[in-house]
């Protein structure tokens, strides 16, 4: 169901191994969003490891 909070439910998906295409298939959210979320998650992980 589209709503403002669904981004917070989708955000952990890349860390759990879901591809952007799988996220699209399950949610029908525009493919652009899962791709951008994955890039953000990847950047967060790089920053976390660089800080340590």
Question: How far does Cα 14 stand from its chain's mean position?
Answer: 5
The pLDDT of residue 2 is 77
pLDDT band, very low/low/confident/very high, at 21 (cuts 50, 70, 90): very high
Asked if 38 and 17 touch (Cβ cutoff 8 Å), the reply is no
| Average pLDDT, rounded, for the chain | 89
pLDDT band, very low/low/confident/very high, at 1 (cuts 50, 70, 90): confident
Can you give the chain as a three-state secondary structure string? Answer: CCCCCHHHHHCCCHHHCCCHHHHHHHHCCCCHHHHHHHHHHHHHHHHHHHHC
Question: Across residues 28-42, what is the average pLDDT?
Answer: 91
Q: How far apart are the first and last CA of the chain?
A: 39
The pLDDT of residue 17 is 92
* CA-atom Rg of the chain in angstroms: 12
pTM: 0.73
């Amino acid at each position: 169901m589209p709503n403002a909070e669904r981004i917070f439910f989708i955000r952990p998906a890349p860390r759990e191994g879901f591809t952007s295409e799988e996220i699209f298939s399950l949610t029908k959210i525009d493919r652009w969003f899962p791709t951008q979320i994955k890039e953000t998650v990847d950047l967060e992980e790089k920053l976390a490891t660089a800080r340590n």
